[in-house]
Amino acid sequence: MDSLNAGELELFVESVRQYFKVLTRHEPRITSAFLATGELQGYDYNGIVTFSGAYNGHVIVSTPGALLKELLLLQGETDLSQPNLLDAVGEIANTLGGNARKTLGSALQISVPLKLHGSTGVQARVRKHPYVVTLKWNRQPAVVCIDLERR
């Protein structure tokens, strides 16, 4: 299996930017992008999509509840319960997966998002050296872990 190239990784960074720009009219600030070599700390809400086909692996979106609440409120949603927060982070992960399919090919198979509460979800599901993008939107942090390899 081959690692992703810079253009393929940039696809995910741009997808994150576009998601927030379209939904909120404000792009997030990308604070870092790196190859993780140790434990990856996530946040309480995690959305995971799994890829198979020409690419194998998964993408994890990890955010604190405060970020998701702000996004829901901007959409006019007043139900800020844990199930709705989980749906919101799952939707972000699903959108990133859908955007990846547009660029990486329609044969790419993407799972329904897995939604988890608790930061241990990120640590238990990453390979040894995943690509990590950290960001801030409206002073709220988030992490996108891109753990894909080309077959």
> How many angstroms separate the Cα of 17 from the Cα of each of 29, 104, 131?
8, 18, 17
Domain ranges of the chain: 2-150
**Residue-level pLDDT at 24:** 93
Q: Looking at the domain covering 2-150, what would its CATH class be? A: alpha beta
Label residue 151 by pLDDT band (50, 70, 90).
Answer: confident
Q: CA distances (Å), 99 to each of 8, 12, 74, 127, 144, in order?
A: 11, 8, 22, 22, 14
**What are the tens digits of pLDDT across the range 85-144?**
999 999 999 999 888 888 888 788 999 999 999 877 666 565 677 899 999 999 999 999
Question: Does the pLDDT value for residue 21 go beyond 90?
Answer: yes
pLDDT tens for each residue of 54-88? 888 899 999 999 999 999 999 999 999 999 999 99
Provide the 10 A C-beta neighbour count for residue 20: 20
pLDDT for the residue numbered 103: 81
